[in-house]
Amino acid sequence: MRGDKPYPRWNTNILSKTPPNQHRRSPGNRTLTVLPQFPLEDIYITLFTERRIYDRDGNESYEPIEHRVKATHVEMLDALRLALDEGAVNLKSFGNRYGLTPPDLNGLVLALTGMEATTFRMAWQMRRVDELLRYTDLTIEEVARRSGVGTGSNLFYACQRDFHCSPSERRDAIREWNDVGRFR
């Protein structure tokens, strides 16, 4: 061992000299100069199929959510939306099915949605996380699994990254008194 450092080749000063936003890769560093044709809020597919309604007497029932999977008429974007709706999607494999390299897929998704493919996938997953946290009593592990984030640990870090709080704190912040069961 050279000197008093246990790992002589590990340069611990690199992180202190690197700006904090460059410590790890951050997707989405390109932006459109025009409004996106398909913003996420317009093309997101909710996981719920029915919404709760009340009649005049206060009796509750559920009605189907219409146009849940409304087509954009862009074949690859619709296929990506359906893949994301079904769960986690590997963007490289998805692009390969259409003969697209990862940069090509990023460019296509950026041009259509205003976000690079990885950023779009993460935004989709976090929107799904919000739906599950707000409208269900699922465990954090189950929310992570159903949203495509993976594990409870992954969900914790994703919530810290995007919302600066834990999943439980996020649930408390966004849930209103009558939300559980509003959709199914």
- Whole-number pLDDT of residue 72: 94
**Structural domain harbouring 121:** 33-174
Integer Cα distance of 146 and 54 in angstroms: 28
| CATH number of domain containing 77 | 1.10.10.60
Asked whether residue 11 is domain-assigned, the answer is no
Integer Cα distance of 92 and 164 in angstroms: 29
Asked whether residue 12 is domain-assigned, the answer is no
Asked whether residue 149 is domain-assigned, the answer is yes
Integer Cα distance of 129 and 161 in angstroms: 13
**50 SS3 class:** strand
76: exposed, middle or buried (Cβ count in 10 Å: 0-12, 13-18, 19+): middle
User: Once rounded to an integer, what is the mean pLDDT over residues 126-152?
Assistant: 96
Asked whether residue 25 is domain-assigned, the answer is no
Indicate the average pLDDT of the chain. Answer: 85
In this predicted structure, the answer to whether residue 52 has a pLDDT above a threshold of 90 is yes
| DSSP string covering 155-176 | HHHHHHHHHSS-HHHHHHHH--
Residue 17 vs residue 78, higher pLDDT: 78
